[in-house]
Amino acid sequence: MPLDPFYPIVPDTRWLARLLPAGIKLVQLRIKDEPSDVVAAEIVKARDLCAKARCQLVVNDYWREAIDAGADFVHLGQEDLASADLGAIRRAKIRIGISTHSEEELETALAAAPDYVALGPIYPTLLKKMPWAPQGLDRIGAWNERIACPLVAIGGITPERAQGVFAAGADSVAVITDILAHDDPVRRTEAWLSCTQSLRER
């Protein structure tokens, strides 16, 4: 199944339950700073909510809990990758997405034969401090020439910027602030789904 072009990222299952009725088909649960019992329970709940809505669930960081719950994907950053058991994730038939920010990180990611590669930050992001300057659109084209799997673009992406990001070669755009900080996150999610609809029908 191809990756949906719209890839929202949420911090908990309350957000997930809020956005799923809009019709999202791919979502990442990115939990930070919660005790392990809360993390495990949230991942199980997310799995059940997503299964009911026929939405693919990506679990960020917590690969063991993703295996236990039977998530669709695990997303790993470079540090996560160093400590994850890729064999165990694959044996559980869970697909793997990997973050990249530089040529060196792309080499490391490709050695793990990922199911998608994420490149970021494409634009400046307010969400998290990172040592990398914005990658810009040209880098998307350069990554696309190097990889055979789908490419996810992340960082500061808005609907206005998305068309350029897709035109540069991204298969999917991952989005946090543009939705979560919006006055009406559900309406914004619906706007994202409409502006990516033509890509979904290809």
Ligand X SMILES: Cc1nc(C(=O)O)sc1CCOP(=O)(O)O
Select from 154, 162, 168, 193 the one that contacts ligand X (CB under 6 A): 154
Q: Measured between alpha carbons, how far is 112 from 178 in angstroms, rounded to an integer? A: 31
Distances (CA, A) of 55 to 4, 48, 71, 121: 10, 10, 11, 25
**Which part of the chain contacts ligand X (CB under 6 A), choosing from 12-20, 39-47, 161-169, 175-183?**
175-183
**Which part of the chain contacts ligand X (CB under 6 A), choosing from 42-50, 51-59, 125-133, 145-153?**
125-133
Q: Which residues bind ligand LCLJCK34 (CB under 6 A)?
A: 28, 30, 60-61, 75, 77, 80, 97, 99, 118, 120, 152, 154, 174
Residue 28 or 189: the one with the smaller Cβ distance to ligand LCLJCK34 is 28
Site for Mg ion in 39-58 (CB under 5 A): none
- Give the 3-state secondary structure percentages of the chain, helix then strand then coil, rounded to 5: 45, 20, 35
Is residue 114 close enough to count as binding ligand X by CB under 6 A? no
Is residue 78 close enough to count as binding ligand X by CB under 6 A? no
Dihedral angle of Cα 32, 69, 116, 138, to the nearest 10 degrees? -20
Q: Measured between alpha carbons, how far is 121 from 112 in angstroms, rounded to an integer? A: 21
Judged on CB neighbours under 10 Å (0-12, 13-18, 19+), 120 is buried
Binding residues for ligand X, rule: CB under 6 A, are: 99, 101, 120-121, 125, 127-128, 154-157, 175-178
